[in-house]
Amino acid sequence: MRRNIEFNASGVKLRGWLYTPDSGSGPFPAVILAHGFTATKEMTLDRYAETFAKGGLASLVYDNRNLGDSDGMPRHEVDPVAQMRDYRDAISFAQSLTEVDSDRIGIWGTSYTGGTVLAVAAIDRRVKAVVSQVPFVNGFKNIQQFLRLSEMPAFVAMLEEDRVRRMNGEPSRYIKVTTDKPDEPAAFPGLRTHHYFHDFVTRVPGIKWENKVTLQSLDYLLEFDITGYVERVSPTPMMMIVSDKDSSTPADLALEIFHLAREPKELMVIRADHYASYIEDFARTSGGARDFFVKNL
């Protein structure tokens, strides 16, 4: 069962879906889900929520601010700190719903929000379990692996020019999120990334994803680092799902964070790339997360 929802997050209206199991009267334990960098809820989050519902879990799925069906300006800007706060507002909203057991709430995040949920779990004890899938955990280290050393000066100069532009009262410039052209600048280059996003755009009617993101979003990305949070997640149970061939959110950075975390914690490693967690290995990642939440909520 699914119904549309909307809630207030620090003055911005966020929109999404509430899923509840087809059997049982509730209130149900609930999981809150939001997608990664620029992605919208139609990009597999509905399938995760359906899998969780089969385990007796409700799911609150929403688009991040400035993206998809949610409000927020500037459009197509990704602010991870604001997204942390939005997760906490989503918890408050979920607790107000009659379908949800307010004392049994978990959070799930993937890629960029895979790091975000670890920070939220560290500071908000209403979170009773957290799943972090192929997480983005340290922006500077991630970019160092993502770009060739020779490309870093031009990347930094591009961000500095945009900061001057914003200081002068102009809006941040946009850059493509993905591209299939090897020499064209993009926030996340690579054919696998390009095909992942554009496959949904071509086959999901009405999806509100556009291939652009503000350069300020990349400035925020460089500042992002959840290292100082992770030791504080405990005693909340944590599960991390890592892809060992991940070039978008490298496994070595995620594993560094996992080993910093205290018990209780669980690790799942899939022998694939970043996007396999949503596609080829979906049954394993979604089923593993569902079982973890059922056990800990």
Residue-wise pLDDT tens for the chain (297 aa)?
A: 999 999 999 999 999 999 999 998 889 999 999 999 999 999 999 999 999 999 999 999 999 999 999 999 999 999 999 999 999 999 999 999 999 999 999 999 999 999 999 999 999 999 999 999 999 999 989 888 776 666 778 888 999 999 999 999 999 999 999 999 988 888 988 899 999 999 999 999 999 999 999 999 999 999 999 999 999 999 999 999 999 999 889 999 999 999 999 999 999 999 999 999 999 999 999 999 999 999 999
Is 170 a domain residue? Answer: no
For residues 234-273, one letter each, b for 16 or more C-beta atoms within 10 angstroms of the residue's C-beta and e for the rest, the string is eebbbbbbbbeebebbbbebbbebbeebeeebbebebebb
**Is 184 part of any domain?**
no
**Phi, psi of 247, rounded to the nearest 5 degrees:** -100, -5
**With contact defined as beta carbons under 8 Å apart, do 88 and 80 qualify?**
no
Separation between Cα atoms, residue 168 and residue 146, nearest integer Å: 30
- In a domain? residue 58: yes
Domain CATH code at residue 248: 3.40.50.1820
Is 241 inside a domain boundary?
A: yes
Whether 271 is covered by a domain: the verdict is: yes
**Rounded to whole angstroms, how far apart are CA atoms 206 and 154?**
36
CA separation for the pair 76, 199 (Å, rounded): 19
pLDDT at residue 148, as a whole number:
64
Instruction: Confirm whether 20 is domain-assigned.
Output: yes
Residue 211 lies in a domain: no
Nearest to 134 by CA among 89, 193, 184, 75: 193
This prediction's pTM: 0.96
Query: Would residue 191 count as lying in a domain?
Result: no
Full domain range(s) for residue 82 = 2-138+225-296
The total domain count for the chain is 1
Digit-coded pLDDT (tens) for 216-232 = 999 999 999 999 999 99
